Amino acid sequence: MNELVERMHARLDRMAAEDVAGRIWRRDHTVWKPEPREISNRLGWLDAPEAMAEHAAGLRAFAERARADGFTRALLLGMGGSSLAPEVLRTAIGPAPGTLKLSVLDTTHPAAVGAALSAVDPDRTLFLVASKSGETIETLSHLALFWSKVPEGRRFVAITDPGSPLEALARERGFRRIFLNPPDIGGRFSALSLFGLVPAALIGIDVAQMLEGGREAARACGPDVPVAENPGAWLGALVAEAALAGRDKLTLLENPALGSFGAWVEQLVAESTGKEGRGILPVVGESLGPPDVYGDDRIFVGGLPTSVELDELERAGHPVALLGLLASGSSARVLGAEFLRWEIATVVAGHALAVNPFDQPNVAEAKRATAEILDRGAGDPPSPGDAAPLLDSLGPGDYLAIQAFVAPSPESSARLEGARLAIRDRRRVATTLGFGPRYLHSTGQLHKGGPPSGAFLQVVDAARGADLAVPGAPYTFGELIDAQALGDLRALRARGRRVARVTLESLEEVAG
């Protein structure tokens, strides 16, 4: 750890000499790349805690009106940056008494979509359709389904960028509200924009407090703060220097008080840094084990209190960084501060790794492959096989990404986690678990654009129940998720990645 701390301080000294923090706040694109493309138009998140304050009263009034009109539930249809922050707010804080209960639908698996449809009370559910581009295939498919069942504009709300196809559709159908977000805020940096604030207001979170937490973090990480005292800068420098030293598996020690915050960080860090053959792999939700199940490619970061397990890891030479919460007071204020702290840390890490943290150049590869399959057919997709050869290929510094194209549920999650940990313990490699197609909007960029140290195991259904049509589309939800799985498999293979597909049952068998 001492060597890593020295590297971090050397990085901070260089950043101070080059005024990196000041240049970030002045929106100087040369912090990351010589050209401004997909940088200068992606820095609006820096202003969000201040700029969004003017919306606080209106959002509170919007939420009060929804309750007065009899809505008791909100169902958010969104993917990636549009869904992960609302999920954090739902799990960390939850609905206040008398407010709407929030659910998030971010899968195309027909069993999960069907379950969400069955749970909807059309008279009391407000549908939030959230997509920055307004073209997200999963979200538009969800909208088509729920609109076919409840074709009443007053029950739908859109959150999108100005001029998007979703805005046009929402106006045509007379949606209850259309929230237009500043277009210079990228999806994964949108927690403190309308994508996070609208759901927050509906479940009774004090939006003004959440934004004040963001402002508190902005002051702590501001241009006039010495860079060594800037909590976002030193966190970014630490994880970047760890990655450059071979410890590129950022293992997050999650604080239960922050709910699913780790999943939000996972997208932010993976999609921002995983490109040009470089990147930081966040490892989320992996239970702590004894020191001998870890390789020398880990850094442990997070808010868990010190424990016997962490003490053992440190004594064994694994770097551990415990983060105190940046703000105090209400949970909304705490989360607002943590959102901005990690955003600053991520763009600093991008600077240190010499990548543009605001683009996602490889995400389109899987999208194109999926579109081709939907248009032309899948041909003869590979059948599930044996995972053993893939697992045998794992070596020091590698990681295994389990990509689960099965219905998300407590049972499937528990089974997948069990297999994941068994593989980690036997193979001494970092493991990640993502449900498809959700992970395509989170870690998919790093899988294809990051270092070639990943091995990818697609878990597909041995048998699937009833399918569900996508209204107005020539395919079903089952055909869509199958195309997404096969599309990503083809994109990974085109990149020369190691990838195989198995059933959950065969994964459990080979994992031991």
H or E element at residue 389? helix 388-392
Degrees (nearest 5) of the Cα angle 183, 236, 321?
A: 135
Claim to verify: residue 130 and residue 279 sit in the same structural domain? no
Q: Tell whether 36 is covered by a domain.
A: no
Cross-strand pairs, 77: 105, 129
- Tell me how far the alpha carbon of residue 20 is from its chain's centroid: 26
Q: Are 449 and 492 in contact (CB under 8 A)?
A: no
Cα–Cα dist 122/106, whole Å: 19
Q: Tell whether 220 is covered by a domain.
A: no
Q: Are 83 and 192 in contact (CB under 8 A)?
A: no
Claim to verify: residue 19 and residue 102 sit in the same structural domain? no
Claim to verify: residue 57 and residue 175 sit in the same structural domain? yes
Claim to verify: residue 265 and residue 285 sit in the same structural domain? yes
- Predicted TM-score (pTM) of the model is 0.97
Q: Are 222 and 125 in contact (CB under 8 A)?
A: no
H or E element at residue 402? strand 399-405
Q: Are 221 and 293 in contact (CB under 8 A)?
A: no
Residue corresponding to tokens 């940046």: 326
Among 314, 334, 353, give the residue marking a domain's end. 353
Claim to verify: residue 22 and residue 58 sit in the same structural domain? no
H or E element at residue 300? strand 298-302
Task: List the chain pLDDT tens, one digit each, 512 residues.
Answer: 789 999 999 999 999 999 999 999 999 999 999 999 999 999 999 999 999 999 999 999 999 999 999 999 999 999 999 999 999 999 999 999 999 999 999 999 999 999 999 999 999 999 999 999 999 999 999 999 999 999 999 999 999 999 999 999 999 999 999 999 999 999 999 999 999 999 999 999 999 999 999 999 999 999 999 999 999 999 999 999 999 999 999 999 988 889 999 999 999 999 999 999 999 999 999 999 999 999 999 999 998 666 778 889 999 999 999 999 999 999 999 999 999 999 999 999 999 999 999 999 999 999 999 999 999 887 777 889 899 999 999 999 999 999 999 999 999 999 999 999 999 999 999 999 999 999 999 999 999 999 999 999 999 998 888 999 999 999 999 999 999 999 999 999 999 999 999 999 999 999 97
Residue corresponding to tokens 């029950």: 155
Q: Tell whether 448 is covered by a domain.
A: yes
| Backbone φ, ψ for residue 212 (5° rounding) | -65, -40
463 in the Ramachandran plot: left (φ > 0), alpha (ψ -120 to 50) or beta? beta
Claim to verify: residue 406 and residue 385 sit in the same structural domain? yes
Claim to verify: residue 403 and residue 505 sit in the same structural domain? yes
Here the CATH number for the domain that contains residue 23 is 3.40.50.10490
Q: Tell whether 37 is covered by a domain.
A: no
- Tell me how far the alpha carbon of residue 321 is from its chain's centroid: 22
Cα–Cα dist 406/398, whole Å: 25
Q: Tell whether 168 is covered by a domain.
A: yes
Q: Residue 72 has which token pair?
A: 């008791």
Claim to verify: residue 54 and residue 192 sit in the same structural domain? yes
Q: Are 40 and 269 in contact (CB under 8 A)?
A: no
Q: Tell whether 8 is covered by a domain.
A: yes
Cα–Cα dist 110/112, whole Å: 5
Domain hosting 419: range is: 363-511
Among 308, 331, 353, give the residue marking a domain's end. 353
Query: How many domains does the chain divide into?
Result: 3
Length of the chain: 512
Claim to verify: residue 320 and residue 245 sit in the same structural domain? yes
Q: Tell whether 261 is covered by a domain.
A: yes
- Tell me how far the alpha carbon of residue 4 is from its chain's centroid: 27
H or E element at residue 308? helix 308-315
Q: Which residues contact 53 (CB under 8 A, 6 or more apart)?
A: 208, 211
Claim to verify: residue 184 and residue 102 sit in the same structural domain? yes
pLDDT per residue as tens digits for the range 165-207: 999 999 999 999 999 999 999 999 999 999 999 999 999 999 9
Q: Tell whether 216 is covered by a domain.
A: no
Pairing of strands 281-283, 298-302: unpaired
Claim to verify: residue 338 and residue 395 sit in the same structural domain? no
Claim to verify: residue 346 and residue 371 sit in the same structural domain? no
Among 353, 379, 401, give the residue marking a domain's end. 353
